[in-house]
Every structure is written in structure tokens, then in C-alpha cells.
Amino acid sequence: MRPLVRQEFRAAELVDMVVQVAGKDADRVQKILSAGTIVFHSFRYWWTGFEADTAALNEILRKYPDADPQRVFRAEDCNEVILESRSLRAAAGLPPVTISATVAGSQATSSLADPASGPSGSASPAPSGSESEAPPRHSLRIRRDQANKRKLLRSRTVWDMLMNLAREATPAYREYSYSLRGDLYALALTPERAATLARDARQAAPRALRAELAALPKMSQIIFICPCPSAHGQEPNPRDEP
């Protein structure tokens, strides 16, 4: 038995969930709204599919930022980093594999349909499988508030070290992430640089963070997340429990 939950979303909340999965492509968003189902944060959501009013949908999508490679990385804008290593398959030059997850979902919808027809969607979640690219062999997410805590008698924090790396070698713009709500910048880590960062970070990290940094020598790149000031709204908050 799997728990099912019914919820109601306003139009903008439903679209926000779809955009985080599918991006800001109006045609793709319309197709998902019409299909009436999506996998989001490991939950399967169902609603009665409907044809979204084009003007209303475009008005919502207009509030979302677009990717812009001209946006220069600024350390003061960064609030989180993701350190990643290449997967074993990628290191061997093989294509990524997919994994299948089966989970319970929950949800409901609102209406973006033609006001004349007035339909409103309702969701009835149920278990379903989803395919996604296998995650990196190692991955570590560090927030600024977490890494900016200073250890006693240490002049630098782990966050200082990460930002110094970004200043020494400017990260390259990658894309705007609608799920992470920010511009992503990537910086490659050589094995030597990763080892140095791991050594220095362990010495400066408070006890709560030290264990998480154990995988640092295996990391091959840093992704810097910089929220865009014009990022839209708040993402829905699916319930983990019915």
C-alpha cells in the first residue's frame, strides 16, 4: 500500500512545478499540462489534463529568467556550491545509464484553462516509476551559511577557500537552472587542486562539516549556484507524508 494525497495548486504553482522539470519552453509546458502527469522530486503527480490558455501561460512564464552567458560570476551572489566527480561510465567514455525509481506521489491542480470553459484540475497521486540520469559517483552540496562558519583560531572558512578558487580561475557559465533557481557556473578541479582544497578545508571546517568533506579529493568540478534576482516564485512543497 502506498499513501495517496490530494492537494490543490493555483495556476502559477502548478506551472512552477512543471517549469522546474521541463524548463521555460511554452510548448513543452502546455503538453505536460495537457497530459496531466509529471514526476517531481521523486513524486508522481496526477491531475485532469487541460489545454492551457496561451496568453495566461505566457504571462506566467514571462516572469521566469532566461539563461544569459553574459552574466558574469560574482562571488558575493553565490549561495551554494555542488562538488561533483565524474561517474565511472563517464570516465570510461561511456554514455550515462538511467535508473528507475518507484515512489508514491501526491497532488492536485488549478486552472489555466480558457475562462469560458472553467475546468479545474484535481490530482490523485499514485506510485509510478521515473527515469533519470544516474547521479555522479560522488556529489557534495555545501551552502554558504554552512561553510562560512569559522573554526576557532582559524582566519579562513571553507567558504572563503571555495570563493578564492573562483577568483583565481573564473568559473564558466553553464546555464540557468529552474530547479535550483539560479545561474550555474562550472569550474574544473585538477586532482592536485582537489587534494589541496581537501587538506585546507579539513583544517578549517567545523566538526559538523568535516565528515562531509571526506570525499573532496575525489571531486573533479565545482558548480557555483547564483540565484537570479528576478527568479520567480516559490516551488510547491510536496508532502512526504500523507
Residues facing 227 on adjacent strands? 182
Q: What is the pLDDT of residue 138?
A: 72
The mean pLDDT of 135-147, rounded to a whole number, is 80
The pLDDT tens digits of the residues spanning 58-79 come to 999 999 999 999 999 999 999 9
* DSSP H/E element including 55: helix 54-61
Cell of 66: 532566461
pLDDT digits (tens, 9 = 90+) for 146-185: 888 876 666 789 999 999 999 999 999 999 999 999 999 9
**Mean pLDDT score of the chain, rounded to an integer?**
77
Q: Which range is most confident: 39-48, 184-193, 223-232?
A: 184-193
pLDDT tens, position by position, 36-57: 999 998 889 999 999 999 999 9
In whole angstroms, what is the distance from residue 186 CA to residue 222 CA?
6
Q: HSE, CB side, 13 Å, CA atoms: give it for residue 181.
A: 12
pLDDT at 42: 84
Mean predicted confidence (pLDDT) in 206-216: 86
Number of alpha helices (DSSP H) and beta strands (DSSP E) in the chain: 8, 9
